[in-house]
Structure 1
């Protein structure tokens, strides 16, 4: 590896509701055995970056100026002098994906010692649900910079067939929707509906769900996301919630499935990605009796939930955050094998504020900082 520079450039959030500022700072260095320094190759923008910048995550970031981004990818360039066994797995030059959670997991809490959540469980001694851990790009500096210090236990090797730009969006959007699909506990041939199907998570979810063998419906309520979802040509049914009533869709699915009892009509599971109450209500109307609603979004004012649906229709409502490091690796290998990729538009680091403006246009897909582009 070539000699490392003494400084690096990063995009800093200096206060809430303000644009990012490009600055030069000293190069960070690994300071504990688990830590690795990577050269960031790509960093993806997430809705959480917007929420954080708006001041809607109380107590976070811990201090300004702050480098955001919790879904990125890079190349290992340096270790701490004394390497842990986990850090020793990665060699200089290795390409790795970096999720936000959980930097410096405590190793001793209930989650780290092995909670009962089998879907999100990691090996004993580390958990993405550790409440004592830091989070890249949220409580500590993240990926909108040329270099970043990361925790070796967080990392996933990038498959040879994938690039950093392809990997970065999967480090939050990819693993989040993949884990949400796993939480549906569906068998091939069962039906799942993804609300917000043309967004960053949704359009990846359409691809994963189809490759998992489910009957898939993608629902959205804006022209650009609907167009993007349809352009994937996954074979999923794409529904415009503005013009198609949930009740009519349920009847249509019942007819296709040869069902005459209303309780048997509809989808087996829904995944709610938008933050609107209308999207939540629409999704609940699509569900069969005994169906499952997996909630990924977390609107500031929450959702109103119908007790009638929960009690009389036996609808299960569960939340889903991210997946374990094991699942992260599984998801990356699944993506490589089945050619699941984000539809993404790239920007250089110097144009991060232009990327944010593009985000607010609501065009769907993902927006990525590509470090190979000229600064």
Structure 2
């Protein structure tokens, strides 16, 4: 049974940007609106406000992720206003502004679901993710799992929140997984991208860490510096020179931990090379294989950890941290679902820095930064 107080009449169809074939642009289609009266207990029914464009959307278009059901609506970065909720939802109310989680249908019964809260989203029995078997946020109305969603702070706009639904929460959890103390050194490999420039600010402002920012693109190096890295290094100078520079600034030992958000094949070995003995490399970037030199793993005891998105509590913590510490998102805003193919092509060609989002509902309260909202 759904709880709803919406007085608006919903249309029969809605606009959506869909993947209809791999290696083809998104198709702008009219599709049926989800049934607001047929919700599962943990469902939230949203009127989508702003949707984020992630690098993973390029992978969806290529068919990189297995078992994608076509046609399917793109984007796993959604925000919106709750129009209705399922019978088991008690954390949210109709009318709340929320950031959607990406996953659906964890079982709630396995050891992982009953274990530490910050690992529940790893449930091996969860159903699927947005843009894989279920429609994503490039559409006007959307059903999401309330157990993976978070409240957007009143002082945050939808346009700021949407890109945080992947880049923000993934960076936040990655920095936390490094388990460092204030004053210690962290390296961000891939520091000048959508995740990297957020991770720099989170590491410095929220955790009090010193940051080595690593990138191999001129525009990435510029954004790394603007984000506040203590040491900015160009990975193109060669491994020997690179390691020497890091050691020079870290008491000759290297960083205490490194966070890899780059999908370059050499990125993980680079992260290990500049990490001090017994340190940790946290892998976030999605690549087919993560390979570290045996010398670093065996003789220097470098630990490799992975980090997968974030749990509900971690996402909520991240959103309030972004507000509290005034973490700046390099954002590119597009207006309207028909703009999505152009935004995707610009992402593919590297024509903007940072992140991008698409305003789906121009009339949603608090859509854009300004006045009292960041």
TM-score normalised according to structure 2 size: 0.89
Which residues of 2 match residues 17-166 of structure 1 at below 5 A?
17-30=23-36, 31-59=39-67, 61=68, 63-80=69-86, 83-84=87-88, 87-101=89-103, 103-114=104-115, 118=116, 120-122=118-120, 127-166=121-160
Aligned mates of 2:250, 2:74 — CA distance in 1: 47
Which residues of 2 match residues 117-266 of structure 1 at below 5 A?
118=116, 120-122=118-120, 127-211=121-205, 212-232=207-227, 234-243=228-237, 245-259=238-252, 265-266=253-254
Deviations 1:12-40, CA, capped at 9 Å, x for gaps: 11011111111112210242121121011
Structure 1 residue 361 displacement after superposition:
2.3
Deviations 1:310-360, CA, capped at 9 Å, x for gaps: 010010011111221111111111111111232111112111111111111
| Alpha-carbon distance change, 26 to 176 in structure 1, aligned in 2, over 3 angstroms | same
| Alpha-carbon distance change, 133 to 158 in structure 1, aligned in 2, over 3 angstroms | same
Question: Which one of 329, 350, 365 corresponds to residue 316 of structure 2?
Answer: 329
TM-score normalised according to structure 1 size: 0.88
Indicate the residue corresponding to 2:270 in structure 1: 282
Indicate the residue corresponding to 1:345 in structure 2: 332
Given that 2:78 and 2:100 are in contact with CA atoms closer than 8 Å, whether structure 1 keeps it comes out as yes
Given that 1:119 and 1:323 are in contact with CA atoms closer than 8 Å, whether structure 2 keeps it comes out as no
Describe the SS at the equivalent of 1:121: helix
Describe the SS at the equivalent of 1:205: helix
Describe the SS at the equivalent of 1:172: helix
2:14 paired with 1:8: yes
Structure 1 residue 306 displacement after superposition:
1.0
Structure 1 residue 257 displacement after superposition:
4.7
Indicate the residue corresponding to 2:367 in structure 1: none
Describe the SS at the equivalent of 2:320: helix
Aligned mates of 2:122, 2:246 — CA distance in 1: 38
Structure 1 residue 271 displacement after superposition:
1.0
Aligned mates of 2:251, 2:21 — CA distance in 1: 57
Deviations 1:138-178, CA, capped at 9 Å, x for gaps: 22111010110111111100011101111111111111111
Describe the SS at the equivalent of 1:120: helix
Structure 1 residue 276 displacement after superposition:
1.5
Given that 2:213 and 2:229 are in contact with CA atoms closer than 8 Å, whether structure 1 keeps it comes out as no
The gaps in structure 2 that reach 5 residues or longer are: 1-5, 364-374
Aligned mates of 2:22, 2:229 — CA distance in 1: 42
Aligned length: 352
| Alpha-carbon distance change, 159 to 128 in structure 1, aligned in 2, over 3 angstroms | farther
Indicate the residue corresponding to 2:366 in structure 1: none
Aligned mates of 1:258, 1:92 — CA distance in 2: 54
2:354 paired with 1:365: yes
Aligned mates of 1:308, 1:183 — CA distance in 2: 23
Indicate the residue corresponding to 2:3 in structure 1: none
The gaps in structure 1 that reach 5 residues or longer are: 260-264
Describe the SS at the equivalent of 2:25: coil
